Amino acid sequence: MSENSPPYQIQSQDHESLTVPLLSHQQRSINSTSQVAIVGANVCPIESLDYEIAENDFFKQDWRTRGKIQIFQYIFMKWLLCFLIGGFVSLVGFFNNLAVENIAGVKFVVTSNMMLDRRHGMAFLVFSVLNLLLTLFAVIITALISPAAAGSGIPEVKAYLNGVDAPDIFSPRTLMAKIVGSISAVSSSLVVGKAGPMVHIGSCIASLFGQGGSRKYGLTWKWLRFFKNDRDRRDLVTCGAAAGIAAAFRAPVGGVLFALEEMASWWRSALLWRSFFTTAVVAIILRSLIDVCFSGKCGLFGKGGLIMFDAYSANVSYHLADVPPVLVLGVIGGILGSLYNFLLIRVLRVYNFIYEKGIIYQILIACTISIFTSFLLFGLPWLASCQPCPSDAPEACPTIGRSGNYKRFQCPPGHYNDLASLVFNTNDDAIRNLFTNDANSEFQLSTMLAFFVTCFVLSILSYGIVAPAGLFVPVIVTGASYGRFIGMLLGSHTNLSHSLYAVLGAASFLGGSMRMTVSLCVIILELTNNLLLLPLIMIVLLISKTVADAFNGNIYDLIMKVKGFPYLETHAEPYMRQMTVADVVSGPLQLCHGIEKVGNIVHILKTTRHHGFPVIDASPHSESSVLYGLILRAHLIALLKKKSFLSTPIRLGVDDAFRHFSADDFAKRGLGNVDKIEDIELTDEEMEMFLDLHPFTNASPYTVVETMSLAKALVLFREVGLRHLLIIPKVSGRAPVVGILTRHDFMPEHILGLHPLLVRSRWKRLRLQLPRLLKIF
Amino acid sequence: MSENSPPYQIQSQDHESLTVPLLSHQQRSINSTSQVAIVGANVCPIESLDYEIAENDFFKQDWRTRGKIQIFQYIFMKWLLCFLIGGFVSLVGFFNNLAVENIAGVKFVVTSNMMLDRRHGMAFLVFSVLNLLLTLFAVIITALISPAAAGSGIPEVKAYLNGVDAPDIFSPRTLMAKIVGSISAVSSSLVVGKAGPMVHIGSCIASLFGQGGSRKYGLTWKWLRFFKNDRDRRDLVTCGAAAGIAAAFRAPVGGVLFALEEMASWWRSALLWRSFFTTAVVAIILRSLIDVCFSGKCGLFGKGGLIMFDAYSANVSYHLADVPPVLVLGVIGGILGSLYNFLLIRVLRVYNFIYEKGIIYQILIACTISIFTSFLLFGLPWLASCQPCPSDAPEACPTIGRSGNYKRFQCPPGHYNDLASLVFNTNDDAIRNLFTNDANSEFQLSTMLAFFVTCFVLSILSYGIVAPAGLFVPVIVTGASYGRFIGMLLGSHTNLSHSLYAVLGAASFLGGSMRMTVSLCVIILELTNNLLLLPLIMIVLLISKTVADAFNGNIYDLIMKVKGFPYLETHAEPYMRQMTVADVVSGPLQLCHGIEKVGNIVHILKTTRHHGFPVIDASPHSESSVLYGLILRAHLIALLKKKSFLSTPIRLGVDDAFRHFSADDFAKRGLGNVDKIEDIELTDEEMEMFLDLHPFTNASPYTVVETMSLAKALVLFREVGLRHLLIIPKVSGRAPVVGILTRHDFMPEHILGLHPLLVRSRWKRLRLQLPRLLKIF
């Protein structure tokens, strides 16, 4: 540890044996990773969330004063909030579907009627202008009112649950933009989904309920005061995300599993129970609302949207001989899924590059895609040949004057256009057509191929627009189309019906792109309402995930990476085992004393952007100081704001602290409402006074010794859900704390930036070549 | 911290403000909690498992030398083992059902035929003697061959996954006793289940596969060498538990969720995927085997056992008006479930008290219960009146000469005895009768009541016998009986059929006793194969769990407590926030030096029973020593066994260590095969030599400062999965480590034993009065 050793001593050694800790050069650089990310469509600064309980004397005293009544209030409110979240999310989900079905329905009825009158040009004009207007509306409210509402929102919520606080993602503005934008984007015939936005909407509603009221609008209630912290909000947002999926697919169990498998970074048994309660509320309310709609009070909302649930009701029988084609489907799904992820990320990068030039470019791209989509959807059916109507069709054929499944389009009477039935329809109806029509002859082979290519291309191009856009429905419709295509190719060589192939195709593409297992399996089962499919869906999902994992990561993780969220993985990279925490920690370190001068505190807060400061005390026994704990920036600012300073440096008791402050002063407000040090005006006299930080300092911060391996520090940081991890020296006699680790210090970009040597070392190479395989260690 | 302060300084203070850490009296007592538990039926010493990765230089070097091929071997083996586990568990599960159906089937056919011949006395004799013999067989092989096989095994497996190593629970002996014992116990008409034993069997098979071969039987393969550690075994055992439920109920998704919600203490995304794969293998193999049986090659195995799956296939339609009775069912389920748990635990305590007196008492109790059961099952149907056979019965009525559902018993021709159809049948058939018979008139009200009381009483009495005995099936059958009873009571006031009430009753009793939510919901859905029931089952489960939680804990946790397993909860008790780690740590502490004399090591190992020892080094800068790391007892013994000692106290390089040792020397063998220090013979000369412990010491042990609050230390200990947690001093200049925390130090019994004051304090009182409510914080 001598200061004279060469800074990269390690370079002279054999790369294969990195046994000497990299610590030797005592590097103390500033963390170089950027602390900004693309949230929705715009670049914003991001911060970490405080999931650790700050156990200071003041809070401990506050907990002790809480009686049984407060505990009852807290528990009652938690369940009540879950109930309210479930209720609101199901109402929004229902309203969403109702609006889409009616807006898109009117559009299709109007254009179909014009087609019947042979006014083809007029029909195209109306169709494309309506689509363009709806897209424009979605883009403009997103870009102008809340850019954070763009995209599916799942990456943002996933990052939030990992501890990354992106500004504005849960504001009421974003909620409104997301709801309205999602309705108009989906109605505009773009190939975008509504499930992802529903997850974001659910999380947003949950987060708003978790604000603990709003002083600005006079919505305060003392029963809500216990929720002003990130831990409780995290639980509620997890329930909200589960409710979102439950409302989008009417899949309550699937929603819980989705939140568990894909969204949440921390999970407790109690959370499982509470999210299950939330989705149960969603399921029951949705069921009642749909019962109301069955009596025909919901306009064009017929079998639309939510009723995907009962899509597949045929009896299934299959044998071992049917397994090989299913395996092939899984492999194809894996390859296509990873290709889809690869292309989508490429397109997103291009879009992000263009979007930096201004809002006008964001609108231009959306308009181009809308016009291109209209051209494709309206033009393609002309290439398909007309089919005679089947004599035993379950509904009027061709459909006239309402939204239906046998589109006549340009065909003569008594015929229908099978491609128009798919593309000239909402995505939900297209999925239902593909899943339910057991008549194996309804679609032609060329139709299915054309539809698959259209969906694949359009969904990749459409996801990146600056409007709420989900991925679930596009992936399902694309997967169902190639699944049915393969079923048709196999023809009589298989016992399974084409519609079953469509379901399995959707499963394989979902597995290949999103890489979930249990949750996707349950969601598909709940969508199709047929438990007998279970073994086949399990095989398909396992194979497509395995194949796709050999190529790249799951789509949400890739998007999160493109957006630049510092997502903390559970597993440590192999090279982290060879490093110590001292190798990555960045300085300079700012310390506070237990009893500190106000001026110093203000100076520290103004000159740094750290969010936690170690508090040290003079040791009674020796000259060196001892670590007392860690104090948060937010708590320091709350102390300064209250201005109850001490004129002499004496130590305050907890009871004194309790007289001057209330727990509410330290509550973390939501929606990024934080007081800034610049807003606090202090006189010169006050600057010379003192503050006793002891009662407000978290006296039990987690610590690691500087020689701890980085991999084990990451496990501690990740599993316990920390924001700051103090590093204490191995040998006493130096400062009692030598550094603080935060989320950014564990990011591979930061570590590899500090130690470029690692990029070339065997450990990094290994990681790059076998990226997925190592993950499943 | 002065030594002069009174030992219980705190007593003079206000109990309500425990702000002064209890540390003040510097207590260093020996940990007083017992380190034994009841495993199966016998009391055994238990130990903790090593889930933490020991990152010493030697292992790091070993990891570096692993190439891509080894990583591929490791990953391939993990998946292959999962596949094999799934395969074996499904075969055992199938064989189990086949055997039960045939043995019990033959028994019922023989006795039924005697009844037809009016030889009632003879029938009773044969019935009760056969039952007694089967019970005796089960008890004797359990008591003599492997007492660890008694009971359901779920508490033992759950404790194992929490980090408690009970000897013998996964030995081949236990596996055999469990399989054979479970078959004979279930066939003997005792009200015991086979699902719990299947979970134990699955875990046992998984653990045996995870042994990394066996040197004794020559079953070694170098591809298996990576599995000789507790972490990989834990993953496999989790998959095995999931496979067990999947095989018992043919519920692959339910199995995964059961393992996640009830069994596992640590869960990773990769584990979700792997256990899903395992249960998929189970589902597919079971399906193929059942297809074989449909062709009639399986003897009396007709619709038995596994085919519960398709039990409920009627169409359901229900409205809001049906919700109130469902709510009532949930409340009743909660009350009955908690009563059931309460009584079962009482009976278990009595049994355990009696069992201590010897094996003969264990056998006597089992015989008594078997005879009592036979009397009840044979006697009760005489009280029921005979019913005329329905004209539209789906099968021959009354059933003659085979196992069937319309038992004639003592009735005249053309009549059947409805109570005999339930009690004079296997439990699986009784459940199928209750779940499927939509004919609302088949059972009389008095029959259902009698059946409910019989099941309730017998299942409580039977669980505690020294034989493999599960709880799932008894709980389901009891719940179904009172569910159907309530449905019959409501009569025409409800639209729901009686069989649907039976399903909901089973759900409510399961929820009230086992307190799971999502996993029970999915298991019931997979059993009944009807997704439309979902919202109703969700309501029932939520209500029954909520009601029951107000009274006591879940049945497996209660049993675990009776058995004395030191299960580590995720949540910290409120009083733990008010204490520091120094308040509970027990001494005396044994330290090793980095380069230690062999004689000293032997002395330390022989005089203590600790499993980890801090290793300290002389500091280069000062007189005090510094902490180097933690070395495990197992590793010290491996070093002593190899006898490659140093004649002078010099420091060894990693490369030297690598020359003398191989990673295999430090591999943890399974099945409790550990070397003992007593078995190692060392000469006096060797005792004077030295060992360099540095390359074998985990240089990155987790540490906490002595002033850390106990609650936060528990979070670290539990979330990261530790066995030892080092406590370092706050003020330097003393020893570099002041204590070690282990699992036992966090047990409430230990803490309250050290600080009896807490028992009276407000925090403890609060916990006792609102036990469940606080848990869901």
CB-based contact A299:A105 (threshold 8 Å): yes
CB-based contact A293:A304 (threshold 8 Å): no
CB-based contact A136:A340 (threshold 8 Å): no
Tell me whether the omega of the peptide bond preceding residue A588 falls within 30 degrees of 0, making it cis.
yes
% residues pLDDT > 70 (chain A): 85
Q: What is the pLDDT of residues A742-774, one digit of tens each?
A: 998 898 888 888 887 776 654 444 443 344 444
* Predicted local distance difference test score (pLDDT) of residue B436: 74
Contacts of A620 in chain B (CB under 8 A): 731
* Predicted local distance difference test score (pLDDT) of residue B267: 83
Q: What is the pLDDT of residues A357-375, one digit of tens each?
A: 889 999 999 999 999 999 9
Burial class, B511, CB count within 10 angstroms (exposed 0-12 / middle 13-18 / buried 19+): buried
Instruction: Report the distance separating Cα A775 and Cα B274, nearest Å.
Output: 13
B774 CB-side CA count, 13 A: 19
**Token pair listed for B234:** 């834990």
**Token pair listed for A714:** 């990451």
List all residues 6 or more positions away from A611 whose beta carbon is below 8 Å from its beta carbon. A47, A48, A632, A633, A634, A723, A724
CB-based contact A572:A711 (threshold 8 Å): yes
Whether residues A518 and B253 touch (CB distance < 8 A) is answered with yes
Once rounded to an integer, what is the mean pLDDT over residues B676-683? 85
A437-446, B186-195, B249-258, B540-549: lowest mean pLDDT where? A437-446
Separation in Å, CA of B403 to nearest CA in chain A: 27
Does B761 contact A at CB distance below 8 Å? no
In the beta sheet, which residues pair with residue A524?
none
Q: What is the dihedral of CA A568, A572, A575, A580, to 10 degrees?
A: 80
- The conformation of residue B31, written as its DSSP 8-state character, comes to P
Q: Where are the beta strands (DSSP E) in A655-721?
A: 690-692, 703-705
Burial class, A502, CB count within 10 angstroms (exposed 0-12 / middle 13-18 / buried 19+): buried
Once rounded to an integer, what is the mean pLDDT over residues B197-215? 87
List all residues 6 or more positions away from B550 whose beta carbon is below 8 Å from its beta carbon. B334, B338, B772
Once rounded to an integer, what is the mean pLDDT over residues A313-329? 75
Does B735 contact A at CB distance below 8 Å? no
- Taking every pair of C-alpha atoms in chain A, what is the biggest distance, in angstroms? 99
* pLDDT band with cut points at 50, 70 and 90 for residue A394: low
Q: Is residue B16 over pLDDT 60?
A: no
Instruction: Report the distance separating Cα B182 and Cα B93, nearest Å.
Output: 11
Query: For every residue of B65-125, which 3-state class applies, written as one string?
Result: HCCHHHHHHHHHHHHHHHHHHHHHHHHHHHHHHHHHHHHHHHHHHHHHHHHHCCCHHHHHH
Residue of A nearest to B722 (CA): A716
Size of interface A-B (CB pairs under 8 A): 234
Tell me whether the omega of the peptide bond preceding residue B398 falls within 30 degrees of 0, making it cis.
yes
Separation in Å, CA of B719 to nearest CA in chain A: 6
* pLDDT band with cut points at 50, 70 and 90 for residue A734: low
- Quickly list DSSP for B245-271: HHHHHT-HHHHHHHIIIII-SS--HHH
Residues 301-330 of chain A whose Cβ lies under 8 A from any Cβ of chain B:
319-320
Contacts of B273 in chain A (CB under 8 A): 517, 542, 545, 776
Instruction: Report the distance separating Cα B531 and Cα A264, nearest Å.
Output: 26
Does B17 contact A at CB distance below 8 Å? yes
**How far is CA B445 from its chain centroid?**
37
* Predicted local distance difference test score (pLDDT) of residue A766: 42
Contacts of A773 in chain B (CB under 8 A): 71-72, 75
For residue B388, the SS3 value is strand
* Predicted local distance difference test score (pLDDT) of residue B236: 94
Residue of A nearest to B530 (CA): A531
Interface test with B, best of A236, A269, A547, A651 (most B CBs within 10 A): A269
Helix (H) or strand (E) holding A549, with range, is: helix A534-549
Separation in Å, CA of B589 to nearest CA in chain A: 20
In the beta sheet, which residues pair with residue A709?
A580
CB-based contact B657:B699 (threshold 8 Å): no
Tell me whether the omega of the peptide bond preceding residue B574 falls within 30 degrees of 0, making it cis.
no
Q: What is the pLDDT of residues A12-40, one digit of tens each?
A: 333 333 333 443 344 444 444 557 888 87
Q: What is the pLDDT of residues B647-659, one digit of tens each?
A: 888 887 777 777 8
CB-based contact B612:B50 (threshold 8 Å): no
Query: Is the model more confident about B37 or about B761?
Result: B37
Instruction: Report the distance separating Cα B478 and Cα B483, nearest Å.
Output: 9
Separation in Å, CA of A121 to nearest CA in chain B: 47
Instruction: Report the distance separating Cα B206 and Cα B281, nearest Å.
Output: 14
Highest mean pLDDT among A307-316, B643-652, B668-677: B643-652
* Predicted local distance difference test score (pLDDT) of residue B458: 95
For residue A9, the SS3 value is helix
What is the predicted ipTM?
A: 0.87
Instruction: Report the distance separating Cα A53 and Cα A56, nearest Å.
Output: 9
Instruction: Report the distance separating Cα A344 and Cα A474, nearest Å.
Output: 12
CB-based contact A300:A101 (threshold 8 Å): yes
Burial class, B574, CB count within 10 angstroms (exposed 0-12 / middle 13-18 / buried 19+): buried
Contacts of A532 in chain B (CB under 8 A): 529
* Predicted local distance difference test score (pLDDT) of residue B437: 64
Whether residues A61 and B272 touch (CB distance < 8 A) is answered with no
User: Count of CB atoms within 10 A of residue B724's CB?
Assistant: 22
Chain position carrying tokens 């170098």: B222
Instruction: Report the distance separating Cα A174 and Cα A171, nearest Å.
Output: 5
Cα dist from A591 to A456, A616, A678, A741, whole Å: 55, 7, 20, 14
Instruction: Report the distance separating Cα A16 and Cα B718, nearest Å.
Output: 35
Q: Is B189 left (phi over 0), alpha (psi -120 to 50) or beta?
A: left
* pLDDT band with cut points at 50, 70 and 90 for residue A587: low
Instruction: Report the distance separating Cα B178 and Cα B175, nearest Å.
Output: 5
Query: Is the model more confident about A528 or about A331?
Result: A331
Q: What is the pLDDT of residues A551-575, one digit of tens each?
A: 998 999 999 999 989 999 888 888 8
Contacts of B776 in chain A (CB under 8 A): 75, 78, 270, 273-274
Cα dist from A497 to A476, A535, A549, B469, B700, whole Å: 18, 16, 29, 44, 58
